[in-house]
Structure 1
Amino acid sequence: MRFALAVFSGGIAAGVVGAAMAWLFHLIHSLDGWWWALAGGGLAGLGWWWLRRDGPVRHIEDSLHTGAPLPLGRSLIDALLQILAVASGLSLGKEQAPRQGAAALMSTIAGWVRVTPEQRRLLVAASAGAGLAAVYNVPVAGFLFCVEVLPVRRSWRLLAAAGATSALATGISWLLLGRQPIYRFPALDFSWSILAWALLLVPLAALLGSAFLRLIAVAQEGATFDPRWLIVSIPAAIGVAVDISHLIPDLTGNGEEILQAAFTADSPWGLFLALLLLKPLLTALSLRAGAVGGTMTPSLAIGAALGGLAGSISGLDAPLIAAFALVGAAGVLAVVQRAPFFAAVIAWELTWAPWWILPILVAVAWAAHRLAVRISSTH
């Protein structure tokens, strides 16, 4: 009964957190202007300096490895600073913030109802997936994130908790934000040529995802420095992204604009090439500056730019370019997250693309992931 009470309460809390952070992100993002972006970056850097002056913030993976509870206040403040920084233009994903906020609330609830340490781990993992489900309206992907991505022991109890919390959180998000896909996707009829073309993206997605993973690792390794520099480094990274976006649009923020541009196929191949080259570098710059945020949406954006570029160069029409972009997004994300089923499902749930494309997404994501594993084992 205690475990069930924690699942029910944590699922509702995750839905409220996800909806609130989605609303806050769009509110800050609507404050257009170079000065607003730098002000947001300065406030985020100042907040992170204050938060980390006594040590780093404990994150979800730390709690799952050690069993230590997530501190509610520090975790929520860190999550809000992530939303502020990404909405101001930092090239990272917003998805880590609701995962962290929801997991911290669940960790606190688990302490109140006095579950066992092992049950607390399961609940924290389930709530992290539920936070993702709520902010992006992806209930199945939220469930798969918990059971495929997070380092937690699989069991029937975990499956039940992950499924219940993701469903509850998504339902609450529907009530607060409405029920609609995050991205518009064109009508598309099945063609065997789509499958043949999609398979050609497997080696490209594997290579690009592997390179992006190495770039992320290098950037994170170099991001350990005196927290006082965050007051300067965070707005500087945002300033670079904003300045470049004046010449090449859609580069700031988490990459949602790149994805939508690829799915509407209204961009020339030269723009896709520029986005493909610059988005990974700006994401690495954001991490090197000491920022905290997700890499899921940037990975999707880079993969979509890859698919959009391949489709545009091949002379395909707009719906097929959108299909290429979706397949590329799933393939690169599968490599970066090391989770092909999660990558395929979230790409589909974000767009509500036709049902028949889901098996293609799964096949490409799995093949790209396995090829990337083989590539990494040779180095």
Structure 2
Amino acid sequence: MSISQYPQRDQSAVPTNATWPSALNVRHLALMVMVVMLTGVGAGLGGMFLALLLHGIQHLAYGYSLDQIISSETFLMGVSAAPGGRRMLILGFCGLLAGVGWWVLYRVGRPLVGIKQATASDAPLMPPVATLAHVLLQIGTVGLGSPLGREVAPRELGALMGGWLSHAAGLSPEQRRTIVACGAGAGLAAVYNVPLGGAVFVLEVLLATLSWPAAIMALATSAIAASVAWMGLGAESQYVVAHFPLSAGLITWSLLTSPLFGLAAYGFARLSAAARRKAARGWRLPVFALINFLIIGCMAVWLPQLLGNGKGPAQLGFSSLLTVGMAGMLLICKVAITTSTLRAGAQGGLLTPGLSNGALMAVVLGGLWSQIWPGVPMGAYAVIGAAAFLASSMSMPLTAIVLITEFTRIDHDFLVPIVLAVAGSFGTSQLCALWARR
């Protein structure tokens, strides 16, 4: 067959500008890369600033480590050394700030757009002034001793940056949704130094997808944000945890108690959700907030461990420094003041409070188990319980496992009881949710 006999391509079907689509794709890809990088850098700088601001407020309020913002003296050490009267006074001021601040914000500010709203397909942009005010109020109140978590503030700041950058770049709504979620995860990664945890949080909780484009963007933004935040915060782990050996008793305990963590976490999630729904508004907000924080201040005169988001009690549990009785008392009080603070109208996260609740509950259950099968340090129970409770209370089993691993830098083999406890706990909480919907 001659060359002329081969079927010829119809040249009329080939557009004259056939090379342009690839050029446009390259430019679009470059634009996406730039937005991803800027979102990571912005979330890292924002998270670093918020963390430094939080430490500065804590040090000034309770008068410790005034010569350096990042120090070896923890918040729990600082509040424990402060006089009881000072604790009560600071919590009263915290109530005024929370009540008046959020009352003014809701009254004169633009309606807030939460992260879940911002990651919806037809989501509006987050209002910058109102969102920044919301972020600063959370950091200010947590720094003064609010029992709520600080993680929502950097997530909102990262999401705000991602939303506006993607909007300015003219990205599609779906791409903007992904960037907003990545910004939120990057903010989490920055303040807690959890680059993988921030990315998994984006994929599991915010986007509910495992697509490779979303995974690449989530990993990149979280890694960039964490590395940027190292400039001011260092690359330290959040908790100091000793080496805990594995044992048959510990693994058995993880299996047997995991449903109890699931039940407790489900109850805590329902309780906190109801408190948010019934949160005080209008004139009741400043009144309820002041009364709530004054009560917490009075309790903190005798129990300074109650102040803050729960990192102090969690560290005590991980370090095996709590008795069963003290852990039980702190657990009851922490659940009570967390829900009452939400009911009073204050805002904040539940990540560290949930982690702390799990650690305290694990010390109680571990102490009882030790009467049957001794030999396991209380800290080992606390780490496993923290993961199990956090996974179920926030419906994020994979993220909880990764976060606990990065928070504590626990040995790899210790993942076995953690995964078993998380699986049993999360399965139980989901069964409870199904039963409640029947």
Settle same-fold status: TM greater than 0.5.
Answer: yes
Quick one: distance in 1 between partners of 2:361 and 2:332?
Answer: 10
1:325 lines up with 2:382 in the alignment: yes
Which of 144, 148, 155 does residue 88 from structure 1 map onto?
144
Q: CA deviation at 1:318?
A: 8.8
SS of equivalent to 2:246: coil
Q: Which residue is equivalent to 1:369?
A: 426
Q: Which residue is equivalent to 1:197?
A: 253
Q: CA deviation at 1:317?
A: 7.4
Q: Which residue is equivalent to 2:277?
A: 221
C-alpha contact (below 8 Å) 2:166/2:179 kept by paired residues: yes
C-alpha contact (below 8 Å) 1:149/1:337 kept by paired residues: no
Paired residues in the alignment total 378
The C-alpha deviation readout for 1:47-101, integer Å capped at 9, x for no partner, is 2122111464211111112321111221111011001111112211000000001
The C-alpha deviation readout for 1:288-335, integer Å capped at 9, x for no partner, is 011111011111010000111122233487962111111111111111
Q: Percent identity?
A: 33
Q: Which residue is equivalent to 1:266?
A: 321
Structure 2 runs not aligned, ≥5 long: 1-29, 63-85
Change (3 A) 1:266 1:318: farther
Q: Which residue is equivalent to 1:53?
A: 107
1:36 lines up with 2:94 in the alignment: no
Q: Which residue is equivalent to 2:408?
A: 351
SS of equivalent to 1:250: helix
Quick one: distance in 1 between partners of 2:368 and 2:301?
Answer: 25
C-alpha contact (below 8 Å) 1:79/1:98 kept by paired residues: yes
TM-score of the aligned structures, taking structure 2 as reference length:
0.83
Which of 340, 365, 368 does residue 285 from structure 1 map onto?
340
Q: Which amino acid aligns with 2:166?
A: A
Q: CA deviation at 1:154?
A: 4.8
C-alpha contact (below 8 Å) 2:250/2:376 kept by paired residues: no
Quick one: distance in 2 between partners of 1:243 and 1:224?
Answer: 22
More deviation, 73-82/244-253 = 244-253
Q: CA deviation at 1:224?
A: 5.0
Change (3 A) 1:116 1:318: farther
SS of equivalent to 1:53: helix
Q: CA deviation at 1:134?
A: 0.7
The C-alpha deviation readout for 1:151-210, integer Å capped at 9, x for no partner, is 455532211110000000110111221111111111222323221122222011011101
C-alpha contact (below 8 Å) 1:187/1:319 kept by paired residues: no
Quick one: distance in 2 between partners of 1:115 and 1:317?
Answer: 59
Q: CA deviation at 1:277?
A: 1.3
Q: CA deviation at 1:108?
A: 1.3
Q: CA deviation at 1:36?
A: 2.7
Q: Which residue is equivalent to 2:4?
A: none
C-alpha contact (below 8 Å) 1:276/1:306 kept by paired residues: yes
SS of equivalent to 1:43: helix
Change (3 A) 1:142 1:103: same
C-alpha contact (below 8 Å) 1:139/1:167 kept by paired residues: yes
Q: Which residue is equivalent to 1:5?
A: 34
Q: Which amino acid aligns with 1:12?
A: V
C-alpha contact (below 8 Å) 1:89/1:241 kept by paired residues: no
The C-alpha deviation readout for 1:252-298, integer Å capped at 9, x for no partner, is 22101110110111121111111121211111111101111101111
Q: Which residue is equivalent to 1:15?
A: 44
Residues 56-135 of structure 1 aligned to structure 2 (within 5 Å): 56-65=111-120, 66-135=122-191
TM-score of the aligned structures, taking structure 1 as reference length:
0.95
C-alpha contact (below 8 Å) 1:279/1:302 kept by paired residues: yes
Change (3 A) 1:318 1:264: farther
C-alpha contact (below 8 Å) 1:265/1:318 kept by paired residues: no
C-alpha contact (below 8 Å) 1:2/1:114 kept by paired residues: no
Quick one: distance in 1 between partners of 2:155 and 2:356?
Answer: 20
Q: Which residue is equivalent to 2:235?
A: 179
Quick one: distance in 2 between partners of 1:17 and 1:234?
Answer: 28
Q: Which amino acid aligns with 1:193?
A: G
Q: Which amino acid aligns with 1:120?
A: R
More deviation, 277-286/54-63 = 54-63
Quick one: distance in 2 between partners of 1:193 and 1:108?
Answer: 52
SS of equivalent to 2:119: helix
Quick one: distance in 1 between partners of 2:376 and 2:304?
Answer: 22
1:243 lines up with 2:243 in the alignment: no
SS of equivalent to 1:236: helix
Q: Which amino acid aligns with 2:100?
A: L
1:27 lines up with 2:83 in the alignment: no
More deviation, 290-299/28-37 = 28-37
Q: Which residue is equivalent to 2:196?
A: 140
Q: CA RMSD in A?
A: 1.7
Quick one: distance in 1 between partners of 2:95 and 2:208?
Answer: 34
C-alpha contact (below 8 Å) 1:126/1:165 kept by paired residues: yes
Q: Which amino acid aligns with 1:84?
A: G
Quick one: distance in 1 between partners of 2:49 and 2:289?
Answer: 24
Which of 351, 362, 367 does residue 312 from structure 1 map onto?
367
Q: Which amino acid aligns with 1:16?
A: L
Structure 1 runs not aligned, ≥5 long: none
